[in-house]
Amino acid sequence: MTGIVGHALGLHLHQPPGNLLRLSAENPFAAEQIIRCYERLPRYVGDYADVAAVHVAFSGVLLEQLRDPAVIDRYRHWVDIPHLLHRYAQMHAIELVGTGYFHPIFPWISVSDWRDQIDAGYAIISETFGRAPRGFWPPEMAFTMEMIPLLVRAGFDYVIVDGDHLRPYDGVEDGLRPYRGCYNGVCIDLVPRDRVFSNAQQGGQDPEWLTQALETRRLASPRPHESRLMCSWCGGENGGWFRQLNEHAGFFGVFFAPYMERVRAGVSPIRTVHLSDYLFNAPPLTQATVQSTSTWMCLRAGQLPSCCVDDPNQQQIINRIADLSQRYAALMSAHPVDWRYDSSPRAQLRRLLLQAQTSCYIHKDGLLRSEQLQSLLAAVTAQLAALERV
């Protein structure tokens, strides 16, 4: 490789509401696997803080659980969670990234709920770590350009998008560069996530393969001698590769540590970079749009998110939540509430409605949690009806 390639390596972390307490009671082995994923990440990054640059996206509902005294107490024999969160806060080799608070699939929920999910996700990271997130990770890679004004308003500088659904205005398909995306005159930087490298990161890879595969990709790209940026992103606590308790046989032992050793020794043509730094030094010059089809649950390019809903029960749930959101908006639009800290009935209703939008409840796998969702929706319906009668 004749030039250095910047590698934006990202991991997103999320657990559905109440899951950490539930797992600790029902499946302690899985609970230990997950909490050690969170502990292992800053430890390995800290070992290579001189050369490492990693992005971590926390969902708000996960941070809410990690800050819960009951969770802290239940997991203390494995990990000191307050100390763990302090390590993330102090470790500037980790760039913090925001996402929707309850990890919703944005194109599937009411637009009137977008702002609460985005703003609260930004706020809880700022509060927990003492520094604001710079970028935004769309849950399940479900993104639409209409989200841009709200993301910018909240304070985000860039958003990760599915590279397969990105369409440059200059017509040159190039997944190794960032872009500028605008909607109604409001603009944000778009960083394409590479599916091939992200899938390898999720399932298992080694540094030599990454170097060779990225060199092949660079040489085949339209601008092989210009600044190159590759973004790989995946879940940081999903699958045996990350949950491996024998960490020397998992992501950090097999891939990350040897990768950083090569970078430290000066023999790697790849450098991990923070997107905030990269985009500041090499701002995107080309505008692009992202098809509103962007979601990794729709593997065929050009397929609408709604086309992924092939289960009548799933579509019924999406429609029911949308109807409840419309009823809430009609009733409460003139009475905004601080649902994170307010204990009033209206605030509790708002929280339940937003919580019901958690992707884990709505996508296919979420149907396994149908009892939890049905209980939530029943509570929202009852409380809405009570307020409508007033």
- Measured distance CA(271)–CA(30) in Å, rounded: 33
Each residue of 342-382: pLDDT tens digit?
888 889 999 999 999 999 888 755 554 678 888 999 999 99
**What pLDDT, on a 0 to 100 scale, did the predictor assign at position 307?**
42
Secondary structure (3-state) at 383 = helix
- pLDDT > 90 fraction of the chain, expressed in percent and rounded: 80
**What pLDDT, on a 0 to 100 scale, did the predictor assign at position 144?**
94
**What pLDDT, on a 0 to 100 scale, did the predictor assign at position 378?**
93
Angle among Cα 198, 122, 138 to the nearest 5 degrees reads 30
Decide: 79 and 88 in contact? Cβ < 8 Å.
no
Task: Report the candidate in 159, 117, 126 with the shortest Cα–Cα distance to residue 12.
Answer: 159
Each residue of 125-139: pLDDT tens digit?
999 999 999 999 999
**What pLDDT, on a 0 to 100 scale, did the predictor assign at position 364?**
56
**What pLDDT, on a 0 to 100 scale, did the predictor assign at position 390?**
75
- Helix and strand numbers (H, E) in the chain are 16, 11
Sign of the alpha-carbon torsion through 81, 87, 92, 93: negative
Is residue 330 scored above 60 in pLDDT? yes
Task: Report the candidate in 133, 55, 144 with the shortest Cα–Cα distance to residue 99.
Answer: 133
**What pLDDT, on a 0 to 100 scale, did the predictor assign at position 336?**
81
Backbone dihedral angles phi then psi of residue 56, each to the nearest 5 degrees: -130, 125
CATH number of the domain located at residue range(s) 5-290 in this protein: 3.20.110.20
Backbone dihedral angles phi then psi of residue 213, each to the nearest 5 degrees: -65, -40
**What pLDDT, on a 0 to 100 scale, did the predictor assign at position 315?**
81
Task: Pull the structure tokens for residue 190.
Answer: 């778009």
145 to 41, 183, 189, 237, 244: CA distances (angstroms): 32, 6, 12, 28, 37
Mean pLDDT, rounded, of the chain: 91
- Measured distance CA(37)–CA(40) in Å, rounded: 5
Q: Can you point out the beta strands (E) in the chain? A: 5-13, 54-58, 94-98, 135-136, 158-162, 166-168, 179-183, 186-193, 228-235, 270-272, 288-290
- pLDDT > 70 fraction of the chain, expressed in percent and rounded: 93
Task: Pull the structure tokens for residue 384.
Answer: 């809405």
Polymer length of the chain? 390
Decide: 88 and 56 in contact? Cβ < 8 Å.
yes
**What pLDDT, on a 0 to 100 scale, did the predictor assign at position 247?**
92
- Measured distance CA(320)–CA(314) in Å, rounded: 10
**Residues sharing a CB contact under 8 Å with residue 224, sequence separation 6 or more, in sequence order:** 218
176 to 170, 214, 219: CA distances (angstroms): 15, 10, 11
The residue with tokens 């708000």 is 60
Decide: 316 and 308 in contact? Cβ < 8 Å.
no
Decide: 359 and 309 in contact? Cβ < 8 Å.
no
**Residues sharing a CB contact under 8 Å with residue 321, sequence separation 6 or more, in sequence order:** 109, 110, 353, 356, 357, 362, 377
The residue with tokens 């040897």 is 258
Decide: 167 and 190 in contact? Cβ < 8 Å.
no
Confidence of residue 46 (pLDDT cuts 50, 70, 90): very high
Each residue of 210-223: pLDDT tens digit?
999 999 999 999 98
**What pLDDT, on a 0 to 100 scale, did the predictor assign at position 374?**
87
Each residue of 271-322: pLDDT tens digit?
999 999 999 999 999 999 998 654 444 433 333 344 456 567 778 888 999 9
List the chain domain ranges: 5-290, 309-389
